[in-house]
Amino acid sequence: MGLNDRIRVLIFGLSYHGRAVYRLLDRGLYDIVGFLDNDIKKSGEMFGNSMVYHARDINFINFDIVIVAGRNIDDMNRQLTRDFFIAKEKIIVMNRSDLLIKGNILNSREDVLKDMLFRLKNLVKNKSINYWVIKSSLLALKRGEKFAEFSDVDICIMSEQAHLFIDDLNKVFPMYDVKVERYYSSSKYWKKGSISSILITEKVDPVISEPALIDISVLNKHDNKVFIKSLHNTVTILPFSHFNGASVITRYNLEFSVPKDAEEYLRLIYGNEWKISVDRWQNKYYGSVKWK
């Protein structure tokens, strides 16, 4: 197949899964003509040698197929067919199992995460900060999976303790990027300018490999519940009882704090079948998530 005969591909979503698709595709067979994304702020960016377009521009782009992957496959399919009138035969779905990293790449990413977690645990211990491993990272601990099999490691801390270690993060993580995110507006549960999350990221080229990442979310307590700012303009609401103390799970000779009644917490988030890995998990399946 010559260069002019390659299949012209659009990838829907400049996300963890979209980037994985980009790295996976054989350039001898596929010509990646760009990414689509609903985030207008990403329009005009470059990822590798591919342009990021707003999703609504799809009908002005010359392509053969569009690949969808990630936690919004159903919504992306609906948007492509209903809003943009893209034929179903031009849409290719890639599931989680299609994109899993394996072997040395997986082990190398896990080693980086272990170093990051070791540093973080020492820091929170020295500062007497309570933390909990949550969401997919708790799934990894309970199922015996590697942290590196997921997009990031999810940690949470209480809002009143978030400021205690900010000044030390760059000292403890000098070889990583540290980003402190703050609320851009006030709400019933938090104040404008207060810390919403902290991202600790491996310094690698994401075009070549996915950076290891720790995502520290801030819990805001109100009326015996905790409120966590989530993606796509949502808030996760959970009983405070899961964070009024902690349980412990040991991995890599490290003791990790997890929510009390961890299995009940996982049922609230993922449903009764949380022990089973779902190949096409969708954001809409999350429990305890509310639109703002």
pLDDT in tens, 55-99: 999 999 999 999 999 999 999 999 999 999 999 999 999 999 999
Q: Which CATH superfamily is 3-99 part of?
A: NAD(P)-binding Rossmann-like Domain (3.40.50.720)
Cα 257 to Cα 130: distance, rounded to the nearest angstrom = 8
Cα 131 to Cα 158: distance, rounded to the nearest angstrom = 8
Helical axes 135-143 vs 262-270, angle rounded to 10°:
120
Q: What are 122-156's pLDDT values in tens digits?
A: 999 999 999 999 999 999 999 999 999 999 999 99
* Residue showing tokens 């960016």: 45
**Residue 112 CA from chain centroid, whole number:** 17
Quick one: average pLDDT of 272-284? 85
**What tokens appear for 211 in the block?**
């950076």
Q: Does the pLDDT at position 288 exceed 90?
A: no
Cα 23 to Cα 44: distance, rounded to the nearest angstrom = 20
- What does the pLDDT read at residue 291? 43
Is it true that domain 103-291 has CATH number 3.30.460.40? yes
- C-alpha dihedral sign at 16, 177, 238, 257: positive
Per-residue confidence band for 3, with pLDDT thresholds at 50, 70 and 90: low
Domain ranges in the chain? Answer: 3-99, 103-291
pLDDT cut 90: percent of the chain above it: 83
Reported as type and span, the H/E element at residue 20 is helix 16-24
**What tokens appear for 229 in the block?**
């700012």
Cα 183 to Cα 189: distance, rounded to the nearest angstrom = 11
Q: Does the pLDDT at position 54 exceed 90?
A: yes
Q: Does the pLDDT at position 34 exceed 90?
A: yes
Cβ neighbours of residue 120 under 8 Å, at least 6 residues apart? Answer: 131, 155, 172, 200, 214
* Residues present in the chain in total: 292
**What tokens appear for 77 in the block?**
């399919």
- What does the pLDDT read at residue 130? 96
Residue 165 near residue 124, CB atoms below 8 Å: yes
Quick one: average pLDDT of 261-282? 90
**Residue 197 CA from chain centroid, whole number:** 13
For residue 248, the tally of other CB atoms under 10 A from its CB is 9
Q: Does the pLDDT at position 48 exceed 90?
A: yes
Calculate the average pLDDT of the chain. 92
Q: Which of 145-159, 221-235, 263-277 has the lowest mean pLDDT?
A: 221-235
- What does the pLDDT read at residue 290? 59
Domain 3-99 shares a fold with domain 103-291 = no
Cα 43 to Cα 65: distance, rounded to the nearest angstrom = 20
Strands 234-239 and 225-230, sheet pairing? antiparallel
The three-class DSSP label of residue 291 is strand
Quick one: average pLDDT of 157-166? 94
- What does the pLDDT read at residue 232? 63
The three-class DSSP label of residue 176 is strand
